[in-house]
Structure formats: C-alpha cells, structure tokens
Amino acid sequence: MSGASQKEAQMRTVKGAKRPEPRAVLSAVLSVVGVGLLVVAEWQRLLRDRGRVDPVLVVLMAAGVLVLIGVVFGWFVRRGRSRHRVVAGLRPGWTLHEVWADESLGRELVAQGVWERGMSPSGGTRLTLAWSAPGVELWRGGRAPRAVLSLPWQAVASITEGSGHAASSARPALVVRTVAHATLVLVPCSRPSGGVLPAGATQVGRLVAAMRAARGER
C-alpha cells in the first residue's frame, strides 16, 4: 500500500471513530455540576450554622466530594482508553503506552516547532506514546485523536530515564531528547492502556530499553 493510501485509510479510521453521544456527555456534565453545587451550598450552610453541625451531613458532604472526584477521574480514564484503542487501529504493530505530560512539555514542544494548545503548565495532560521501527509519536484526544508529534528515529538524539512532574511530586519518567534540542519528559502509567497509577522506576527502565531497541540501539 502506498504512503498516500495509508494516510487516506488512517483518516477514514479517525473520521469513522465513534464519538461520544451528546446525551451521555451532557448527563456526565450535569452530574458533576449538580454534585458540586450541592456540596458548595451545604458547606455555606455549615459555615452559617457552626453551632449546629449534623455529623451525618458532614459524612454526606464528604461522600459527595468523593463522588465528584470519581466522576471526573473516571471520565479522563475512559477518554484515554478510547484514544488508545483508536491509535492501535491507526498504528498496527506499534507499541503503545499511556503517559502524562511533564510540566515542561508544552514549552519543549514549542522548541521542537509544535504549538499545542491546552497543555497544563503544571503537567498532567494525558497522551498516548507510540513507537516502532519508523519512529516515535505522541497522540492526544479522545475517540478522534490526532498526532501531536511524529518523529523519525533520526530526529531523536537520546532516550533515557529521568524524573517528571505531572501535576504531582517527582515520578520516574521517560526523557526523549531531540536533535532540535527539545527535551520531552513523559511520566508513564503503570498499565500500557492507562489508569490512575504511575509506573515505577523498573518499569520505566524497561520502556526505555524497548524504545532503544526499536531505534536500533544495542
């Protein structure tokens, strides 16, 4: 298959990817907003009536906060897994691993000549890292993802272990340095398909070794 045909097939796959149902998205948003407003209202009432605090109400408020956090976290996890599945279809035979962006990634992408909107200055943006014999890529988005960065191995100077801050304290990270002098720091998830736990140092070391092998390093 020619390069043009492959590109057309990839575009058809992205366009044909199932998008979230508007009702499902609206339901999730309204649930989060509703729980948040309820918690804020009850907290204000507690501040007014400090001498008559109901322990049951405090427990219910704490549960409401946990539900709110769970809904938001769950949405991000499902979005990452949707992206992972679509990229796997677009890049058959490639190795994929979900990662979080380090706080410096937005600036470093600019150094590489890529302007990407919406990158959190504190890090934590979820991405899919993909690599194979041709090179390495970073993908972003949900059910219709797009490649933020695509580099042939000739454009990569080194791949090493390091540490990164993805809206958290320092975590073991992959460090990809390019010949354009950009340093791309990525904090991997413990599971290739994503999740909420970061990878440990040993697992990051194995990822570095796998990427070096794909690059042809010995």
Residues in the chain: 218
Distance CA 178, CA 156 (A): 4
Residue 74: the pLDDT is: 54
| Model confidence pTM above 0.75 | no
Q: How confident is the model at residue 217 (pLDDT cuts 50, 70, 90)?
A: confident
Residue 168: the pLDDT is: 81
The SS3 call for residue 161 is strand
Give the number of other Cβ atoms within 10 Å of residue 90's Cβ. 19
Q: Tens of pLDDT along 149-197?
A: 999 999 999 999 999 999 888 999 999 999 999 999 999 999 998 888 8
CA distances, 93 to each of 131, 179, 215 (Å):
9, 26, 15
Query: Domains of the chain (ranges plus CATH)?
Result: 94-215 (2.30.29.30)
Percent of the chain with pLDDT over 70: 63
Q: Is the pLDDT of residue 102 over 60?
A: yes
